[in-house]
Amino acid sequence: MTVLPDGLSLADEFPDVTRDEWHRLVEGVLRKTGASDATGVHAEEALATEVEDGITVRPLYTSEDAPQDPGHPGYPGFAPYLRGARAAGSAVSGWDVRQRHAHPDAGTTNRAVLADLENGAGSVWLAVGEGGVAVDALPEALAGVYLDLAPVVLDAGPDFEAAGRALLRLYADRQVPPHAALGNLGADPLGLVARTGRDADLPAHLAAAADLAVTCYRDHRGVRALTVDALPYHEAGGGVAQELGCSLAAGVAYLRALTGAGMTVEAACAELEFRYAATADQFTTTAKLRAARRLWARVAEACGASTGSAETAQRQHAVTSPVMMTRRDPWVNMLRTTVASLAAGVGGADAVTVLPFDSAIGLPDDFARRIARPALHDPAGGVGAGPGERPGRWLLVRRIADRGDLPRRVGLVPGDRAGRGTGRRPRLRAGARPAGRHLGAPLARPRQPQGADHRRERVPQPGRAAGPARGRARAVRRRAAAGAPRRGVRGAPRPLRRAAGRPGRPAPGVPGRAGTPRPCTPPAP
């Protein structure tokens, strides 16, 4: 990287360019295309692009588009934490490389966890319960892990209370100081309702999650109790604004549950971690993460939190999108996850999980996990002006937060998507989803074709040669086996021609295999 001397600015050598001059240049280009109204602001509007959820991406952004509110400068470490909650940003220690493990065998999981931590990973995202190791096997899966150095994040689904209590007991059994324990218990009752549609146990789950939050804030300040997971809405086909709106509305619901259990607003915010999807759309992902932090700062302020409190800053966990992963030719997923992880790091995510490139096929192998451990550095100061005009569609957030009881809020997502009628075509390739309450599995996951063997999808199969080429190869091998001379140098005798006849039949008068050269025998006297 080239460092300029002090006092030297390359921009001083060029004249200042105003927006009006840029408008005139754009007008000249648009007139050549036959545009009727291409003057001034209309020329800029003609080049604007409207993406999903009604967000408009303009062709040019300058310092004039930045917020002019002096009370919200957007510096790192200052509210509204547009560029991160730490003043040093990610320049000191980078972001947390969080590797996911979902193997049901505790021994296999333990070996994979230790290998990841010894080769660049900073924390562990562990599936426990139905989709991972058993709750009682948690000590075996984390054997040899320094729990005061490597945070452990649980994903236990409906078993979050038992898994969370087991992890807290493991801290005590290994004599980890309460102030040194790190991790997240992963309680997410609303996310569980969004994935499964079962809301009968929602009040009991909210009470259990609030109890865990009170315990963590009192005894283990470095351990968070709840996760606001926006992946179910993303996997169900929701856009960027819907992902932001649903996650913030779920966060507001958790704040109400935690404050109802006796916690302050600042303490309740400190127990939440938000999980967002990072896609291969680099600038949209970066802008989404920064807009989410600004919106959450606005939510905390509206809920009565003290301005500038570091506890109210949104902690983010970015995961490369499972929807964009392909099962056919999965090696191209390496390129997609590389762009997505860069966007997550530039966007200021505190932790980044890169899914292995073969995660859509099944459990990843050692090579896929090794490739998924990224080593990137944040090169940018911040991108967030794109959705700044309509940051996360605040009206959508208010509408979701104010609509009825909690399960009905979850059901608002597919209904709003179906009513809007501007969904992306790739979302509908796997079949239309009814406007119901249950979000369920990812919508864009491709179907398994009939007769396909998933075991063959991981290793590429060599292409088979065409029929005539294979026939010529067999003929060459037969001539070589018969000892026929081959033309290798000039002057060498030409091999005898194959006798005329139907393919697959022996040559006339010559016993043996088809295609064998006719021997040269002298005529009988």
Model pLDDT, residue 489: 46
CA distance 317 to 273: 7
pLDDT at 475 over 60: yes
Model pLDDT, residue 119: 87
The answer to which of 107-116, 237-246, 455-464 has the lowest mean pLDDT is 455-464
Is residue 163 within 8 A of residue 129, CB to CB? The reply is yes
CA distance 503 to 471: 10
Whole-model pTM: value is 0.71
Domain locations in the chain?
24-62, 96-422
Model pLDDT, residue 227: 95
Question: pLDDT grade, residue 87 (50/70/90)?
Answer: low
Looking up tokens 């926006």 gives 230
For domain 96-422, which architecture applies?
A: Alpha-Beta Barrel (3.20)
The helix/strand/coil state of 152 is: strand
Please, what is the Cα angle at 22 between 19 and 25, to 5 degrees?
A: 155
The predicted model gives 432-461 an average pLDDT of 44
Average pLDDT, the chain: 76
Model pLDDT, residue 480: 65
* 381-407 tens-digit pLDDT: 444 444 444 444 444 555 555 554 444
Taking Cα atoms as reference points, which of 319, 126, 329 lies closest to residue 234? 319
Percentage, residues of the chain above pLDDT 70: 64
Model pLDDT, residue 59: 85
* 286-296 tens-digit pLDDT: 989 999 998 99
DSSP 52: G
Q: Is 470 exposed, middle or buried (0-12, 13-18, 19+ CB in 10 A)?
A: exposed
Model pLDDT, residue 435: 40
pLDDT at 433 over 70: no
Model pLDDT, residue 512: 47
Between 232 and 49, the more confident residue is 232
Model pLDDT, residue 404: 45
CA distance 379 to 483: 67
The predicted model gives 93-109 an average pLDDT of 89
Highest mean pLDDT range out of 21-30, 50-59, 72-81, 513-522? 21-30
Model pLDDT, residue 389: 43
* Inter-CA distances, 411 with 134, 239, 246, 248, Å: 31, 15, 10, 15
The answer to which of 3-7, 58-62, 398-402 has the lowest mean pLDDT is 398-402
